[in-house]
Structure 1
Amino acid sequence: MYSEVVVVGQIARDLVIEVSDAPPADGSAPVRHRQELLGGKGANQAVALSQLGVSVSLVGVVGQDRTGDTLRAQARADRIGTSHLVRRAGTETALIVDVVDDQGRRRYLEHIPEATLLTETDVLAASAPLSAAGSVIVQLQQPAPAALLAARLAHTAGTRVVLDGAPQDEAFTPGLLALADVVRADGHEAELLTGQPVEDVAAAARAAADLRRRGPSLVVLEVAGQGNLFAGPEGSWFVPHVETEVVDPTGAGDALVATLTAALTRRRPLETAACLAVAAAAATTEHAGGRPRLSRPDLDRLQPRRLELVHA
């Protein structure tokens, strides 16, 4: 039995270290709390989808090492399908280190071996679940040829294609956009996709209109420090950031993408999907680390109370 949503993206060991003060260069600050979690953008999104009650599978790569064994077991414990999780011999599993102090200042370090990135062969081996899903999330931080193949397999089968980010090789941008149903990008990624800075809501609306002409029916763009624009066929809405106590912004975008995808897969109206997605992002900033902790009470508590209609 295949999953409602398949996530094509990164899986890593996520080491979250909370310290009392900003860590000095020698890393000697007192450690208050230390967690080792299933992490990486792909795993974070898959965890969020599972927490929302959506059946989900993950297509990603870990090393053929003890850490890879541990992460695969954690994914299964999180009710994430792992039958197309690749074990790559001769490489280490990716590592992400997130150091957070009491003032929310962060040091973000990562060790991502090239062999832990997806190849076209890896994606082709997952063609059956990609074609059978209701939605597929493709993270564009993965190599562009693999991302393009995943999008093409899903699109050809009539599966909703959700692109997250911007490809590192801009030569692949037109092909990816032509296959997409949904594109979500932060401010920097939106500039990479369009060639124009997205500094305010008006600029985001122009950028979203440009992207929608190139393929996707729904475009979600972050306006840094302000909120997110949701531009779809029924209209465009700007949803401001929710006021909450931010501990660590890591993973907020992953929670947003996952929750938006869950709502669209379950055929919720765009306005509802947008509010839930923004609430999920806010909830994820309330604790250290990128792993989401989504619950219905938190989504209700943090749902935005207003949406601003935007005329593109």
Structure 2
Amino acid sequence: MFSEVVVVGQIARDLVIEVPETPEAGSSAPVRHRQELLGGKGANQAVALSQLGTSVALVGVVGRDRTGDSLLTQARADRIGTSHVVRRPGVETALLVDVVDERGRRRYLEHTPDETLLTEADVLAASAPISAAGSVIVQLQQPAPVALLAARLAHTAGTRVVLDGAPQDDALTPDLLALADVVRADGHEAELLTGQPVPDVAAAARAAAGLRQRGPSLVVLEVGAEGNLFAGPEGTWFVPHVETDVVDPTGAGDALVAALTAALTRRHPLETAAGLAVAAAAATTEHAGGRPHLSRPVLDRLQPRHLQTVHA
């Protein structure tokens, strides 16, 4: 049985450490709380999709080690399809370390061996679920040729292609954009995609309009610390960040992409999808670590009060 959404991206052991004060490099601090989670951008998005009631499968890589065993057990407990997660022998599963203090300051460390990135052969092996899905999220932190192959397989099959981030190889950016239905980028990634900074809503609207001319029908760009701009065929809206008690911003973008994709896959209007996406991002900042904790009451509580129409 195939899934509504397939996520092509990173899987990692996410070690979240909460301390009273963030330590300086090379020093230590008393540990208030420590937890090990299924993490990485791909897994975070898959967890969010599952919590939103969307059937989801994950295409990624873990090592043939105890950590990989544990992460796959967690993924299956989260109702995530893992049939096309590759077990790479002789490879250490990726590790993310997120150190967060009580003021919301953080240090982020990452150990991602090259062997934990997807290859074109890995993606080809997952061509059946990718082609059968309603939507495929392709994370552009993976090697650009791999991302391009995943996008091409999905596009050819009529599957919605959601690109997350900016590709590692600028030369393949035009090809990726031409295959995309949706592109979401944070401020830094938006500058990489367009060659121009996106400091405000007006600049984001111009950047989104330019990107839409290159392929995607919907472009979502982060606008500094202010919010997100959603530009699609139904119109262009700016949605400010929801005011909440931010503990850790890790995973907010992953939750946004997942919630947006879930809503679009269920054919909700863009305004509805945008509100749900922003609420999911806000919810994920309320606790340490990138793993989402999404539910209908939480999303209802954090729904943005208004969407500002932007005349691009």
Whether TM-score is above 0.5 comes out as yes
Provide, for residues 117-164 of structure 1, a one-character-per-residue CA deviation record: whole Å limited to 9, x for no partner: 000000000000000000000000000010000000000000000000
Structure 1 equivalent of residue 162 of structure 2: 162
Q: Secondary structure at the match of 1:31?
A: coil
Partner of 2:82: 82
Q: Which moved more, 1:160-169 or 1:16-25?
A: 16-25
Question: What secondary structure does 1:247 align onto?
Answer: coil
Counterpart CA distance in 2 for 1:189 and 1:25 is 27
Matched, 1:22 2:25: no
The residue that corresponds to 1:108 in the other structure is: 108
Amino acid at match of 2:238: F
Fraction of identical pairs, as percent: 86
Q: What is aligned with 1:277?
A: 277
The answer for the alignment partner of 1:204 in structure 2 is 204
Q: SS at 1:248's partner residue?
A: coil
Q: Which residue of 2 aligns with 1:46?
A: 46
In structure 2, give the amino acid aligned to 1:281. A
Q: Distance in 2 between matches of 1:126 and 1:274?
A: 29
Per the TM alignment, residue 211 of structure 1 is displaced from its structure 2 partner at its CA by: 0.3
Deviation at 1:23, TM superposition (A): 1.3
Aligned counterpart, 2:139: 139
Give the corresponding residue for 2:254: 254
Q: How far did 1:234 drift?
A: 1.3
In the aligned structure 1, how far is the partner of 2:230 from the partner of 2:82? 32
1:90 Cα shift? 1.1
Q: Which structure 2 segments of 5+ residues have no match?
A: none
Partner SS for 1:107? strand
TM-score in terms of structure 2 length: 0.99
Classify the secondary structure of the residue corresponding to 1:69: helix
Deviations 1:26-81 (A, max 9, x none): 34211000000000000000000000000000000001111001101110000000
| Alignment partner, residue 299 of structure 2 | 299
What is the distance in 2 between the residues matched to 1:90 and 1:98? 25
- Name the residue aligned to 1:59: 59
Distance in 2 (CA, whole Å) between partners of 1:17 and 1:282 is: 21
Distance 2:9 2:224 in 1: 24
Shift in Å at residue 21 of structure 1? 1.2
- Secondary structure at the counterpart of residue 32 of structure 2: strand
User: Shift of residue 273 of structure 1?
Assistant: 0.3
Give 1:80's aligned amino acid: I
Opposite residue 212 of structure 1, the aligned amino acid is R
RMSD: 0.6
Name the amino acid aligned to 1:167: P
Q: For residue 129 of structure 1, what is the aligned residue in structure 2?
A: 129
Measure, in 1, the Cα distance between the counterparts of 2:290 and 2:120.
27
Q: Deviations over 1:247-283 (max 9, x none)?
A: 0000000000000000000010100000000000000
Aligned length: 312
**2:243 is aligned with 1:243:** yes
Secondary structure of 1:278's match? helix
For structure 1, which runs of at least 5 residues remain unmatched after alignment? none
SS where residue 14 of structure 2 aligns?
strand
2:234 & 2:278 partners in 1: Cα distance? 19
Instruction: State the alpha-carbon separation in 1 of the partners of residues 165 and 28 from structure 2.
Output: 35
